[in-house]
Chains A and B, each alone.
Chain A
Amino acid sequence: MINIQSLDFRYPGSDFHLSINNFTIAAGEKVAVIGPSGSGKTTLLNLIAGIIAPRAGSIHVGEAQVDQLNDSQRRSFRITNIGFVFQDFELLEYLSVLDNILHPYRISKALKLDQSVRQRAVQLAKQMSISDKLKRSVGKLSQGERQRVAICRAMLTNPDLILADEATGNLDPNNKAHILELLFKSVEDNQATLLAVTHDHELLPNFDRVIDFQTFYGDRAS
């Protein structure tokens, strides 16, 4: 599903340097990435999603070679193939729960918003136990509920790949386990691949594989 070869990335004006020789994740795998802050975990997710581009190397996601796509193509690829769950949820306060879930369809011509999509949004909300709050403003939701909305939004396009950047970082322990359970179930139902950055070591047994940046990519300078 994901294949990265000889990747080299630097932020302009910074001495941060991410270098990966070989990184592979198979389709359907649930992989956790751990490592100290500043080790490049979020940068890796952004590179895979095409939000930033590498200086050298190749990034394959499914059939697409992300590093070879232009900006417009990378955006289209991202919105149709990747579901991103952000650490701070990044929901829009002025939209209702349902409108936040449907938001990718409202901001992309590559996606067509029809009745079936609406039904799927409601279905996802049911799975996440927030179907009774669809018309509510997201500003009135708890942290856990907001994270569920963010997961629904990421899952709505039936993406092949889910990228989760510390998706449970802002949640209390009870909520963490529950949200992760819901995320896993959703990923399995959609036969998607999950790459999650986390700091919560107690959650790691739930993943198929754990990659520790410090251990496996010691040649990276940061």
Chain B
Amino acid sequence: MMDSLYVAWHYISFYKIRTLILVACITLIGGLPLMLELILDESEQQLRSRALSTPLILGAKGSALDLVMNTLYYTDAVPEMITLSAAREVADTDLAQPIHLYARFKARGFPIVGTTIDYFEFRDFQLAHGRPFVMLGECVIGHELARKLGLGVGDTIVSSPETVFDLAGIYPLKMNIVGMLTKTHSPDDRAVFVDIKTAWVIQGLGHGHEDVARIKDQSVIISRDEKTVTANAKLFQYTEITSDNVDSFHFHGDQANYPITAVIVVSNDTKSGTLLRGRYVDNKNYQIFPPKEIIDDLLESIFRIKAIIDTVIVIVGFATLLAIIFIFSLSLRMRRQEMQTIFKLGSQRLTMVYLVGAEIAIILIFSGVVIVGLLGMVSVYVPEIARTVVLN
């Protein structure tokens, strides 16, 4: 048998391209469904675990899927905005604790999540380094973001403008990193957490500037009376919040009308949750639901697509299998002279079977190794792949 393997090995290594084509075909048939299964399992696990740990979501009427995906996974599709008053309304019912979220902005491609410190408790965040945010302009970063950008406590991260060419739009805000989370294996690993007010500062709803009452450059002042000083656009606005200028930051108007993307509603008990949902049944502005319902629908769609993909793979696999059999039979035809020589030399019939069998075995083993290697590689990156493919 060793001699058959030796001869077979020389044959397949001599005809490298033919061998590579066969290995690629077998890898495709064997590896693709397994890799797909791995990615879908991971996606399902990611989607379900996050949805199950979030009892209710309240948001604007509209796409429930966008609302769930943005609230749970901080995806790019931002749902219709609601105001902070929605969270206060929930709190006023005494049936649940609201945790508001504002997941709209990005910093170097990673989502900025404006929330309160209650969210840390709700998600059971553990800090690997530093402390939670307490001051305007401070942030806590996820583990993966820290690793990818090489950032840590004491560094800063700048928010990205929504549109590069919008001069009148949102200015970048330099935020101080005061904490870093331990790995959570969830979208939180890739997020920048800030106080909701910091998110509003990023949006321009809150700002800090020189004290107009003490300003020396009079060209900045448009008008001045006993109660009000009006300045023009020349007035310097701070793009970084420091302990020196933090007191100058302020918000105009009622914060109850400031935007948020969603409210996570942590009901006191099941009955409270049911009662609360009942109160919003006829509400024209808001919708409230358990995210599990939406995720179950989404998974159903994904698995329906998977069933189609599986069918396609089976058909392609069958066609590839036929191609492999065709290649092998063609190869045997082309090797008739060689087989004749072996026969003339005095080889037994079984030896020829061993030779061809050894070639098939080596190619199958080689393909198996490639499949295992690919699966190993995919399994390392599967959380990221699942997030990229399914969640985006």
**Closest chain B CB from A98 CB (angstroms):** 12
Q: Which residue of B lies closest to A78 (CB)?
A: B346
Contact, CB under 8 Å: A94 / B15: yes
Nearest-CB residue, chain A, relative to B345: A104
- Asked if B346 and A86 make an inter-chain contact with CB atoms under 8 angstroms apart, the answer reads no
Contact in complex: A107, B15 (CB < 8 Å): no
> A90 near B344 (CB under 8 angstroms)?
yes
CB B357 to nearest CB in A, in angstroms, measures: 14
Indicate whether A99 sits within 8 Å of B10 (C-beta atoms), given known contacts A92-B338, A107-B351, A113-B3.
yes
Give B5 Cβ to nearest chain A Cβ, in Å: 10
Q: Which chain A residues numbered 38 to 80 have a C-beta less than 8 Å away from chain B?
A: 49, 51, 72, 75-80
Interface residues on B, range: 20 to 34
Q: Which of B342-358 contact A (CB under 8 A)?
A: 342-349, 351, 355
Q: Which residues of B contact A127 (CB under 8 A)?
A: none
Chain B neighbourhood of A178, CB < 8 A? none
Q: In the complex where A93-B14, A94-B15 touch, is A108 in contact with B346 (Cβ < 8 A)? A: yes
The answer to whether B346 and A109 touch across the interface, beta carbons within 8 angstroms, is: no
Query: Which residue of A49, A72, A107 is within 8 Å of B342 (Cβ)?
Result: A107
Q: Are A79 and B7 in contact (CB under 8 A)?
A: no
Name the A residues within 8 Å of B349 (CB-CB): 72
A154 to chain B, nearest CB (A): 9
Query: Smallest CB–CB gap between A134 and chain B, Å?
Result: 14
Q: Does B326 sit at the interface, judged by CB under 8 A?
A: no
CB B246 to nearest CB in A, in angstroms, measures 77
What residues on A are CB-neighbors of B343 within 8 Å?
51, 75
> Chain A 90-113 against B: per-residue CB contact (8 Å), 1 yes, 0 no?
101111000100011111111001
Q: Which of chain B's residues 321-378 have a Cβ closer than 8 Å to chain A?
A: 337-338, 340-349, 351, 355
A80 in contact with B346 given A90-B341, A92-B341 (CB within 8 Å):
yes
The residue from B3, B344, B347, B348 contacting A49, defined by CB atoms under 8 A apart: B344
Task: Please state if A108 and B348 are interface contacts (CB–CB under 8 Å).
Answer: yes
A9 at the interface (CB under 8 A from B): no
* B6: Cβ under 8 A from any A Cβ: yes
Chain B neighbourhood of A75, CB < 8 A:
343, 346-348
Which of the four size classes fits the interface of chain A?
Answer: 20 to 34
When distances are taken between beta carbons in the complex, the residues of chain A under 8 Å from B351 are 107-109
Contact of B344 among A72, A77, A84, A106 (CB under 8 A): A84
Contacts of A80 in B (CB 8 A): 346
Residue of B13, B338, B341, B343 contacting most chain A CB atoms (<10 Å) = B341
Determine if B10 and A94 form an interchain contact, defined as CB atoms under 8 angstroms apart: yes
- A108-B341 contact in complex given A94-B14, A99-B10, C-beta closer than 8 Å: no
Is B11 interfacial (CB 8 A cutoff)?
A: yes
Q: With CB as the reference atom, state the residue of chain B lying closest to A90.
A: B341
Minimum CB–CB distance from B323 to chain A (whole Å) comes to 23
Q: Would A104 and B348 count as touching, CB distance under 8 A?
A: no
Decide: B10 and A79 in contact? CB cutoff 8 A: no
B interface with A by C-beta (< 8 Å) = 3-4, 6-7, 10-11, 13-15, 337-338, 340-349, 351, 355
**Interface pairs (30), CB distance under 8 Å:** A49-B344, A51-B343, A75-B346, A75-B347, A75-B348, A76-B346, A76-B348, A78-B346, A79-B346, A79-B347, A86-B341, A90-B337, A90-B341, A92-B338, A94-B11, A94-B13, A99-B7, A104-B345, A104-B346, A106-B4, A106-B7, A107-B7, A107-B342, A107-B346, A107-B347, A107-B351, A108-B345, A108-B348, A108-B351, A109-B348
Residues of A within 8 A of B (CB): 49, 51, 72, 75-80, 82, 84, 86, 90, 92-95, 99, 103-110, 113
11 extra A-B contacts, CB within 8 A, seeds A78-B344, A79-B347, A99-B10: A72-B349, A84-B345, A90-B337, A103-B345, A106-B3, A106-B4, A106-B7, A107-B7, A107-B346, A108-B345, A113-B3
